Copies of this chain bind each other. A is one copy, B any other.
Amino acid sequence: MSRLCVHTITTKHWSTEECIKRYAAADVGGITFWRYNLEGRDAAAVGRHARETGLDVVSLCRGGFFPSATAEGRQKALDDNRRCIEEAHELEAPLIVLVCGAVPGQSLEESRKQIADGIAAVLPDAEAAGVKLGIEPLHPMYADDRSAVNTMRQANDICDELGSPEMLGIAADVYHIWWDPELKHQIELTAAQKRLFAFHICDWKTPTADLLNDRGLMGEGCIPIRQISDWVDATGFKGYREVEIFSNLYWSMDQGEWLSKIKEAYGKVYV
């Protein structure tokens, strides 16, 4: 379990404090906080609390959402990303995951340009704060309003376009990228710059009842998680396997039992 990390959204009915206590008690290695975990709290204290219980703070979810139809909207996004960088710095989270954003009705081409511009604008702040930014390609079914970055190739291209700065890389989530015919190749391409910063796991259920909140537990779907994970590790990646599962079904369970199921499923993938 030393490389198992859980995203707090996976057990979203637990408070920040309960996530920390329960994950630590379950011998989970790392925790990825979501920004709602910090609301009304001292981010530095939250990070300290997690580390004192033995948990690594893996990342902060999520920055991004750069595109907007108005200059004012784009400026608000930059301001919010800078706040997110401050929070990650206080939390001592080494990484922010970027869900890049998209605006229904604005061309994907324009949104993609605004995303690259937005990342370029906040990158100096991230570098100054010692916080990495990980572009998360999102499944094409989210291209309307969540992210115009939908493939590993696009994420690699943005990193290249911005000169492949050390603090900019990719957060790869199997749910979003498993279908891609050039997935293996694009994962391999991350190796030279060591730009694969994070690896998220869950599964794709057949049928999937909801576009957002019906992700599967590892092993109950069709994603070749172990194979993709091995490709990722072959790039030199030694980080956590982060369980990030949005699921109305599992959120309605007793969250302690749910965490036990996650550990069991994780153990079966990584025997």
Q: Which positions in A face B, CB cutoff 8 Å?
A: 104-105, 107-108, 112, 139-141, 143-145, 150-151, 153-154, 178-181, 204, 206-208, 211, 221-222, 224
Is A224 a contact partner of B107 (Cβ separation < 8 A)?
A: yes
CA distance A139 to B144 in the complex (A): 13
Contact A181 B141 (CB under 8 A): no
B140–A179 CB distance below 8 A: yes
Partner of A211, one of B104, B140, B151, B208: B208
Contact indicator B179/A108 (Cβ below 8 Å):
yes
Number of copies: 2
Q: Which 5 A-B pairs have the closest CB atoms?
A: A143-B179, A140-B179, A104-B222, A104-B206, A141-B141
CA distance A29 to B17 in the complex (A): 64
Interface centre among A107, A140, A207 (most CB of B within 10 A): A140
Give chain B nearest CB distance to A43 CB in angstroms.
32
Residue of B nearest to A103 (CB): B222
In the complex, residue of chain B having the shortest beta-carbon distance to the beta carbon of A102: B222
9 inter-chain pairs at a CB distance below 8 angstroms, sorted by A residue, are: A104-B221, A112-B181, A139-B141, A140-B141, A143-B178, A144-B206, A144-B208, A144-B221, A144-B222
Max chain B CB contacts within 10 Å: which of A181, A206, A224? A181
B150 touches A179 (CB 8 A): yes
Set of chain B residues within 8 Å of A208, measured between Cβ atoms: 141, 144, 211
Query: Roughly how many angstroms separate A104 CA and B204 CA in the complex, as a whole number?
Result: 10
> CB-nearest residue of chain B relative to A222?
B104
Tell me the bound Cα distance from A140 to B208 in angstroms: 13
Q: Tell me how far the C-beta of A204 lies from the nearest C-beta in chain B, rounded to whole angstroms.
A: 6
Other A-B contacts than A104-B222, A140-B179, 16 sampled, CB-CB below 8 A, are A105-B222, A107-B224, A139-B140, A139-B141, A140-B141, A140-B180, A141-B208, A141-B211, A143-B179, A144-B222, A145-B206, A145-B222, A150-B179, A151-B181, A154-B181, A208-B211
| B150 x A181 contact (CB < 8 A) | yes
Determine the distance from Cα of A181 to Cα of B100 in the docked complex, in whole angstroms: 15
A237 nearest CB across to chain B (Å): 22
In the bound complex, what is the Cα–Cα distance between A6 and B206 (angstroms)?
29
Collect the chain B residues with CB atoms within 8 Å of residue A151's CB: 181
Contacts of A181 in B (CB 8 A): 108, 112, 150-151, 153-154
Measured CB to CB, the nearest residue on chain B to A107 is B224
Bound complex: CA A74 to CA B107 (Å): 41
CA distance A221 to B179 in the complex (A): 24
